[in-house]
A and B are shown apart, each in its own frame.
Chain A
Amino acid sequence: MNLDGETNLKLKRSLEATNHLRDEESFQKFTAVIKCEDPNERLYSFVGTLQYEGKQYPLSPQQILLRDSKLKNTDYVYGVVVFTGHDTKVMQNATDPPSKRSKIERKMDKIVYLLFSTLILISSTGSVFFGIETKRDIDGGKIRRWYLQPDDATVFYDPRRAPLAAFLHFLTGLMLYGYLIPISLYISIEIVKVLQSVFINHDRDMYYEDTDKPARARTSNLNEELGQVDTILSDKTGTLTCNSMEFVKCSVAGVAYGRVMTEVERTLAKRKGERTFEVDDSQTDAPGLNGNIVESGKSVKGFNFRDERIMNGQWVNEPHSDVIQKFFRVLAICHTAIPDVNEETGEISYEAESPDEAAFVIAAREVGFQFFGSSQTSISLHELDPVSGQKVNRVYELLHVLEFTSSRKRMSVMVRNPENQLLLLCKGADSVMFERLSKHGQQFEAETRRHINRYAEAGLRTLVIAYRELGEDEYRIWEKEFLKAKTSVTSDREALVASAAEKIERDLILLGATAVEDKLQKGVPECIDKLAQAGIKVWVLTGDKMETAINIGYACSLLRQEMKQIVITLDSPDMEALEKQGDKENIMKVSLESVTKQIREGISQVNSAKESKVTFGLVIDGKSLDFALDKKLEKMFLDLAIDCASVICCRSSPKQKALVTRLVKGTGKTTLAIGDGANDVGMLQEADIGVGISGVEGMQAVMSSDYAIAQFRFLERLLLVHGHWCYRRISMMICYFFYKNLTFGFTLFWYEAYASFSGRPAYNDWYMSCYNVFFTSLPVIALGVFDQDVSARLCLKYPLLYQEGVQNILFSWPRILGWMSNGVLSAIIIFFFTTNSIFNQAFRKDGHAVDYEVLGVAMYSSVVWAVNCQMALSINYFTWIQHFFIWGSIALWYIFLVVYGSLPPTFSTTAYKVLVEACAPSILYWLTTLLVVVSTLLPYFLYRAFQTRFRPMYHDLIQRQRLEGSETEISSQTEVSSELPAQVEIKMQHLKANLRQRNQ
């Protein structure tokens, strides 16, 4: 069942009371009543009872198969359907797939409304004037403009029905000035976005060779949104980590074993320079030696332990070989994993509840304690007998399993070994284990603590291993109590069980400690570091326990040493006490109060530190999150979370993930959710952008995502490069589009003013139809597809550039209105300069006077030149494609004129030979075009000149920097460019912090 994002197997058991029902016939007389909770979305809990043969049996999640579960290692199951359809937990966790539109597009709608109002405004202005003019044509029986024959006019021009004529003219006006609303913009944007997606799909730097998976843009309408992400909500397992644990080191009987260096250790060693980093007490780690050993053994997944003192049965010769034997026995027995024997090769693999458990069992197997079979009541091992040196089969009778919970932080098993000894084998976190050691069991405590600290420093997860021998009497007394607790039907059963377990898990004898590495995906810390530099907040929403989540937070530089942690949790002793009392309403009330108090404290902490440079990291667990997401607390929680540099939510259900996403989205900030499992689907759909990791966990996340990438680290390029580019491209493209259409539309309007608003367009119909199709569209598309303000390399080098998108600088209202007024201004310049230059005088040597056709061509040429040159001015990235499109569009206009003008006059009407015969030989025409185009571009150029010099934007600075090619970095980079890579520094600091915490 992969709803919680974990790939490992979950152990499901039927109730023992129903174990005798083994075939269909036995069900014939089976009657039972199941009482259970209402449908809900909580995956980790189930409250219910089975009433069977007059007895009540509690039902726990262990007995429940959730919908979408896959059955493994079991041939068949008899069961009862408890909930169906929308009542299932999966469906309760599902959210409706939303249709997503980018912010820019939504803003564009507003601009279109604005333009539509403008359109109506100028149309009605025109209509009013037209109505007045038309009405005056018959003035008290006298005909004014006789050449129009107003007395014999159709309804469109009838002075006697002037208001109606004016209204009809209004409709004409809507058609005529329709160029203000660029229908072609929508088409162009679609084309551009599809091409942008193609580029994303083809990016080599986002192609993952190991799995042969390129990045995939599954939707094209969110490309520009990628450049505006403010908060990333990330899943942990499979997204940040590879979801595989490796057994790396162990400390047994006060001696540290394991020579492999972790990545963190390596960076540490590098930092220390010549001084070699000592791995253990006796020997320095020589790479050569290390290498030899690595080569000798085959590499095993989950096992990265190299030490010749332990491996290949050598442990027998160690001073404390009996402790070592016990140590690995605990590893081999104390777990809930299931062996999976490959019939052909005899190899054994394990399916475990958590990957670290699998790592332990594998480690035990590699050392010589092969766990090969388990049943409800026994565990079988192949063991090396230190005396005879033979492999022997040993069967341990499994008595009880005291399971791991996040509050207990340990698990134990009780077994009876073949020598009929009762043993309690226990493993758990150091914080709870050391206090449970018996007096004589503390022999190696000091060394072990030292080793654990060292392991923690190396970024490893540690567990303490201990055991205890039990007396038969003690066991019997305890078992009674334990069983009573276990079969109690009250909802505080868990608490009862825990307290029972507590009684037996004491006086332990320390054996040693293990260190497991939770492997981060490649490049994750660097990527998160870059994203943080770009000002993007990263929230981790994970189903993991709090300790794991915090650990990973440090490992991937989300949490840093200089950060202050605010932890909101309900796992406090007070709460546990309350839960024991079992008053549900009281628990709710107190929990709410407690969460409120903690949040309030957090806020005051943040507020008091506002002046100083302290940043905060917020950690909250699932239970508290439930309360924090309550309507009343929502806002307070959000306020706190937004002030924190990073937020980690642990133990969160898919629904909670989606709710948190919605909460963040509610602030108007762009959210990006990234995840790989089915449990992330809700989050991916809820976020503005959902990014799926096409990893090992199947396709469900990918199918509901908007973008799919193979590795978390590709997110950096997807956002900082593609996101930034697409944002810039689309916003520039839209601005430019409005500019060019306003320029064109308003020349028509000014001309109307000189044609008594009669609705005569200034240009031939075909010129107008081709404007958006041929003469101006291709350069815009080239802008939208190819433009780059700075190269990909510089985008990554100066991540702060990304803020241009987050703060929406390129698509702010001042900028949009600026472009629009530039369009109107351009129209004014074009119209008045052209009409005044080519007034009514002869415009060529042979004395021909200007007419409608010539003026139209002259104006239109200026418009085509002006908008295309404007394009050339506003981009600063020219490949041959840009050159071809921009200059080609202008050339196309002249080619069009020649071709269209050579068609028969009945078709070409006013364009007949207008360029060849009339305009081209006229010097005045060309001089006018030059003057008008330059004057039109002058205001924008002037603005750009002063703006780049005196109010430069970030990309202007970077461009300038690149041009100068200077080695000095832009100041924001300086603190990063110290001699150490930032993430190493950060990691070092976090490890120190981690250490300090443990020592407290």
Chain B
Amino acid sequence: QQQQQQQQRRHYEELAHKSGFSTEQIKNLHKRFRQLSGNKETISRANLDSIPALANNPIKKQIIDAFFDKRNQRQDDEVGSLEEIGLEQFLMVMSHFRPPAHKSGEEERQAARRQKLRFLFNMHDTDGDGIITLVEYRKELLSKSGAIGHQAAKAIADAAMLEVASTNAPHMAPDDFYEGITFEHFQQILKGLEMESRMHIRFLDVDTTTMRCGKATS
């Protein structure tokens, strides 16, 4: 029992080192992981699909896919998707949402921002070729638009691509075409977006099930 606990502790520490969470947070997330997976070692898509709260979310599918996307594991050059994920992969994806540390330097901030942008980019770039093409963009907008109507969503996607093209490749000749949004372009157009203050979640240090109204510290 002792040995098992120690082993687990070491495991957590390893994970903490890789993902940047604290061991407390990992413990909580592990609990949640077990809850989701039904006490198994891995989570499959079906597990995540069945979360009731996610049902209202228009981009539910993309979010779930993001968990199974190899590119979000921060091991570069791996493309494709996994069938099932273990705790480590779960944590790696979650680590994209860590809030900016209070005392992070400029470089760390930039790195974190880049990571979050990469996450977003991977979400849009469904075929994994490194470029968001118009088709992908449209498809993604369509899935979210729902009530807007296909035409408008398409039009908006077109307009957005136009915008990217004009800001990043303003000197294109009339006969050129614009392949798609690369990650650099993506970064460029989203320069004005305040990601640090938006795309983060307060990961609790204490167990959510016992302390419902506590202040979150992360």
Physical interaction between A and B: no
